[in-house]
């Protein structure tokens, strides 16, 4: 396992792997939900069962990422960033973590409100949360779960645009901090 190195300018290998696993899982999960949107019954379950399992995966990976970040702080930001850029980056990351916890927990809570656990890719059953069997509450919670995806998409867009701005306009090699094989300036 890597040790803390406060003088490095790249994220650790663990942080990079967790970042990309979560990013891929979020994109795949969004596509699974979109595919199931207008289906019902067994046809919807083909997409929703892996969607729920992947949601649990995002939750676990996010908790691991937060723990890793607390134990192994990220490299410092470029000192040339404007104050607003630093503040926006910190805000976006904080809200990312909140949403990457809240969205899967709400999905799990909604599923639990219908009296079900989550089948984790056929390997084991994640038990339902200890909540009342209340489909009306489940509908409301799943609505919130879906609604929170809009700010997540906006944040993903801001995150990508920010990284591209720093890489191609500021030419500071920002992508090299998180993409293996890319060098820094």
pLDDT in tens, 80-129: 889 998 998 899 999 999 999 999 999 999 999 999 999 999 999 999 99
Task: Indicate whether 183 pLDDT > 80.
Answer: no
Q: Do the Cβ atoms of 174 and 159 come closer than 8 Å?
A: no
Give the residue, 185 or 16, on which the prediction is more confident: 16
Helix/strand/coil for 122: coil
pLDDT attached to residue 8:
64
pLDDT of residue 50: 97
* Cβ neighbourhood burial of 37 (10 Å; 0-12, 13-18, 19+): exposed
* CA nearest to 149, candidates 19, 53, 29: 29
**What mean pLDDT is predicted for residues 21-28?**
96
What is the mean pLDDT of the segment spanning 140-156?
95
User: What backbone phi and psi angles, to 5 degrees, belong to 73?
Assistant: -55, 150
Position 119 scores a pLDDT of 96
Residue 162 host element (H or E): helix 149-164
pLDDT at 3 over 50: no
Classify residue 171 as left (phi > 0), alpha (psi -120 to 50) or beta: left
Give the residue, 3 or 135, on which the prediction is more confident. 135
Give the whole-number percent of the chain exceeding pLDDT 90. 71
Cα 119 to Cα 147: distance, rounded to the nearest angstrom: 24
Q: What is the pTM of this model?
A: 0.89
The whole-angstrom separation of Cα 15 and Cα 66 is 10
Judge whether residue 46 has pLDDT over 50.
yes
pLDDT of res. 6: 38
pLDDT of residue 7: 40
* 18/21 Cα distance (integer angstroms): 5
Higher-pLDDT residue of 31 and 176 is 31
CB 131 within 8 A of CB 110: no
> What pLDDT shows up at residue 1?
35
């Amino acid at each position: 396992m890597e040790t803390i190195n406060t003088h490095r300018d790249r994220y650790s290998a663990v942080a990079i792997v967790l970042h990309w696993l979560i990013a891929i899982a979020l994109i795949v999960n969004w596509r699974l939900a979109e595919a199931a949107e207008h289906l019902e019954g067994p046809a919807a379950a083909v997409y929703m069962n892996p969607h729920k399992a992947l949601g649990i995966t995002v939750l676990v990976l996010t908790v691991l990422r937060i723990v890793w970040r607390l134990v192994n702080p990220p490299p410092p930001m470029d000192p040339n960033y404007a104050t607003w850029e630093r503040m926006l980056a910190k805000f976006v990351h904080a809200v990312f973590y909140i949403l990457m916890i809240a969205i899967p927990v709400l999905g799990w809570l909604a599923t639990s409100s219908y009296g079900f656990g989550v089948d984790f890719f056929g390997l084991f059953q994640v038990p339902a949360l200890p909540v009342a069997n209340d489909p009306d509450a489940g509908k409301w919670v799943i609505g919130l779960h879906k609604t929170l995806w809009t700010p997540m998409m906006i944040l993903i867009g801001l995150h990508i645009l920010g990284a591209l701005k720093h890489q191609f306009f500021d030419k500071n090699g920002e992508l090299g901090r998180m993409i293996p094989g890319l060098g820094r300036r």
